[in-house]
Each structure stands twice: as C-alpha cells, then as structure tokens.
Amino acid sequence: MRRCLSVPTFMFSPKRCLCSVDPHNITGTVEFLLLGLSDDPQIQPLLFCLFLSMYLVTITGNQLIILAVSSDPHLHTPMYFFLSILSVADIGFTSTTVPKMIWDIHTQSRTISHVGCLAQLSLFYLFACLDSLLLTVMAYDRFVAICHPLHYPVIMNPRLCSLLLLASVFMSLLVSQLNCMIMSLLSFCAHAEISHFFCELPQILRLACGNTFIETLLMYLFIAIFAGVPVSGILYSYSRIVSSVLKVPSTGGRYKAFSTCGSHLSVVCLYYGTGIGVYFSSAVSPSPRKGAVSSLVYTTIVPLLNPFIYSLRNKDIKRAFQKLLNK
C-alpha cells in the first residue's frame, strides 16, 4: 500500500508529498481511508447502536414535522413553511454523513473512493449551506412578524417566500460546486487517511500534496461570505426583535414574543456555534480526531434536536402532532 506522508508544516506553507510515484498522475484512482471516531474494536458495537438509533430518531422526528405542517391548514404560514423545508434539509444533511459512518462501523471497511468523497463533500455543503440560509430566512420572518406585525401578511406573501426558498437553494448549489472545485484542484497519492468520519474539506486539505495556500484561502473566504453574511443577518434581526419586544408594555406580550423566538435562537446557537468553531479551530488544532468529535454536534446532534426543540416549545406543532396521532 502506497502512503502519502505530508511533512507537518504551518497550514499555509507548502507541503512535500513523499510518494514513490507522481501523485498528479493518479488522483483519479485515489482511495481515502476514513479513520472514524475510534479505533477501539470493543466500542464499535456501542457506536453502531448509538448512531443508528440517533439517525432513526432524527429521520422520524423531521418527517413528523413535515407531515404535521402539510396536513394542518392552520400551519400553512411562512414560519411553518420554512420550518418544514428546514426539516427536509436536516434529513438530507444527516443522511449525507451518518449512514456511511454506520455502514463503516458495521462492515469495518472504511474506504471511500475519490468520486464518492467528492459526492459526499458536494451534498454535505449543499445541505449545510441550505440549513444556514433557511435559519437566516426564518430569523427575517420572525423580525417582520414582531417588528412589523400589521404589514406581515403583505410582506411575507407566497411569492416572496417562494423567491427566498429558490434563492437559498441556488446559493447552496453554488457553494456546493465551489467547494467541489477546490477539491478538484488538489492532488493526492493513491491511499490517504482522513482522521474523520466523513470527507470534510479542512481534513482533505491536510492530505493534499503540494502547496494548498490558494485552496485553503478560498475555503476560508467562502466560509467568511456564506457563513458570515447569514450570521450577520440573524444577529441584526434579533437585535431589532429584542429592541421591539422590550418596548412592549405587558409582561405577557414580551414572554410570548421571546418564547416564539426562543426555539429558533437555540437552534441557531447550536448550529453556528459548533460549525464555525470546528472550521476555525482546524486552522490551529493539532488533533484532527478532536475536530471529528466536535463535528458530531452540528452534523448529528443538531438535526436530532431540531424536532424536539421546535415541538416542545410550540403549541401549534403539538396540536398538529396530536391530530396526526388521532388519525
């Protein structure tokens, strides 16, 4: 087995690839080895059962939200429309990484081809960016509902909701293809080990042969644009929401407004806090395996918790769930 040994240097410095053959001639036959979360064979059955059960709960919970919103006419509003689309994105997001990890644990065959890695990377960034943009759109929806309640039906009309959804999908596809472009510019040796449970771009950049300064710069530029802009929009929306709610004279009105936004804000903090933390810590962290454990939060835990957060704090969703169970 040929192995590509990258001499450890600073992240933006050139890396020498010590291979017995020219890596530029065999990139098409690259086979990656996903090291996963642990090499201990004794805990593999526990990890298999844990992640399989979490995946099934995630899929079931998000499907129930989609069914509840689609079946209850009272939930045919912009807020619940975007919530149901967020559930679809969460299903796609967690299905991109978790089933492969479960299969690898079960079969103990952790290899993934270059094409398979490219496909996983593309889908991962597609749904990750879609999640990010939908959270931003939902924050804007709450901003209009609380700060401009009288104009809410006019502003958040079906045409605008459709345009916001189409724009989110288009931007997600663009980000997905841009990240695929970065990976297509890299060269690898025939066998490379990824200290992760899926193909994540920062880990792949560590394995590339040659100078990855341009590719790394592009990656962080895309993160700054496609994560920084949504986060700025969410922070602006909630700063205006808090300012408007504090002007409400009644305590009951303030509590209702904050409880309406509380679930969404919880998901935002979990998703962006862990996701951005993992990517920027990869620039200085000496332990890729710790980054893999941290990535579990936004790839597995957040899609799992979303149905519980939105349903437990929302009376309308609870009522729709009860109607579904009665049927």
| pLDDT of 90 strictly over 50 | yes
Q: What is the pTM of this model?
A: 0.84
**All domains in the chain, ordered by first residue:** 5-10+26-326 (1.20.1070.10)
Q: How far apart are CA 307 and CA 62, in angstroms?
A: 6
pLDDT at position 2: 41
Pick the most confident of 10-19, 40-49, 81-90, 233-242: 81-90
How many Å from the N-terminal Cα to the C-terminal Cα in the chain? 58
Segment 166-194 shows an average pLDDT of 84
Q: How far apart are CA 254 and CA 249, in angstroms?
A: 8
| pLDDT of 29 strictly over 70 | no
pLDDT at position 166: 97
pLDDT at position 317: 85
pLDDT at position 275: 72
> Residue 186 — very low, low, confident or very high, per pLDDT cuts 50/70/90?
confident
Please calculate the CA angle 84-86-87 and round it to the nearest 5 degrees. Answer: 65
Mean residue pLDDT across the chain: 81
Give the 3-state DSSP-derived string for 223-235, with helices as H, strands as E and coil as C.
HHHHCHHHHHHHH
Q: What is the pLDDT of residues 101-116, one digit of tens each?
A: 999 998 888 888 888 8
CA neighbor of 200 nearest in space, from 223, 231, 171: 223
| pLDDT of 238 strictly over 50 | yes
- Residue 25 DSSP symbol: G
Q: How far apart are CA 85 and CA 92, in angstroms?
A: 11
> Residue 10 — very low, low, confident or very high, per pLDDT cuts 50/70/90?
very low
| pLDDT of 282 strictly over 80 | no
pLDDT at position 256: 67
316 or 62, which is more confident: 62
258 or 307, which is more confident: 307
